[in-house]
Amino acid sequence: MESQCVSVLALNDRVRGWIAKLVVVEKSRFQRVRNCSRMFFRVVFADASGDTIQGVTYLSDLDAMDCALELHGTYYIQNATIQRLRSQRMQIGMVPYEIVISHNTVINRVSPEHVLSVENFYELTRFCDLDSLTANPDARITLLGVVVYAGPATFYAIGDRHVCLQEFIILNEERIPIVFSVWDDYFDSDGMHLVELVGEQPIVMICRPRISRLHGLSIGTQAITIIMYNPNLFVAHQLRHWYDTFVGDAGF
C-alpha cells in the first residue's frame, strides 16, 4: 500500500481513487457554529514531507470519526471526498482543499514501522515574539503553554447579537503571562472544557490564534484556531516538568 500513496500536494477535487498516508497533527473538539445546529470537528493531516491538508467531519459521522482518528495517529486514508475551500481565509493546510471524512471513508491505521513522527513537526512561537508579529496578519502562530487561571465568563450585546467571552491566562518557561480569549463559536466547546480543566493546569497547544491588544498584548480564537490539550509531545512533557518543579503552588 505504501507504493500506492499519493502526496498532499497531489490531492485536489478532481482526483479519484486516491490513497494517502497521513498523520493527524491537529484535531479540534466538537464545535457548533453559534445560532446554527450544524456540528463538526476539524483535523489537519500531514504527509511524509510535512505538507498539510485540512479535514472536516459533520453531524452523524462525528462520534465514529472521532474514535477512528486519534491525534498523532498515522493512517492510510481513501474514498474520501475532497472539496475546494470556499474562502482563502479558512485555509489551514498548504493546499486550498479539505478532505471530508464520513462513514464512507476508509481509514486504516498503519503498522508501527510505517508511522510518521510528529516530534519535530511543530514550530512553536515564543511568547516574547508575539509583539513583533502583530503587524503580520499572515503569521502562523503556534503556542504551547500551561493554563493557570480562568476568569469569569463575559457576555456582550452587539446589536441583535450576543457575544460570549471566556478568558484564561497561560504561561510557559519564559514566565510571560498571556491572556487567552476564547470567543463565541469556541465558548461552548473549548471555553467550557478549559474551565473544567483549569484546576489541573492543563497544557494547551494553540494553533493560529489571533493577536490582539484587548489586554495590552493578548491572543484570542478565530475561525481557523485549533486548540489541543496535553499533547503527547516531548516539548509538552518538558513544560509540564518545568511547571510542576519551578512554579506549581507558588503561582506565577
The domain limits of the chain are 2-114, 127-250
pLDDT above 70 (res 37): no
* 84-110 pLDDT, tens digit each: 999 999 999 999 999 999 999 999 999
Domain 2-114 bears CATH identifier 2.40.50.140: yes
- State the sign of the Cα–Cα–Cα–Cα dihedral 175, 118, 66, 237: negative
Predicted confidence at residue 239, as pLDDT, reads 98
User: At 179, which helix (H) or strand (E)?
Assistant: strand 178-183
Domain 127-250 bears CATH identifier 2.30.30.110: no
Cell numbers standing for residue 152: 469569569
Integer Cα distance of 33 and 153 in angstroms: 19
Q: In this structure, what DSSP letter does residue 243 have? A: I
**Burial level of 31, CB count in 10 A (0-12/13-18/19+)?**
middle
Predicted confidence at residue 162, as pLDDT, reads 82
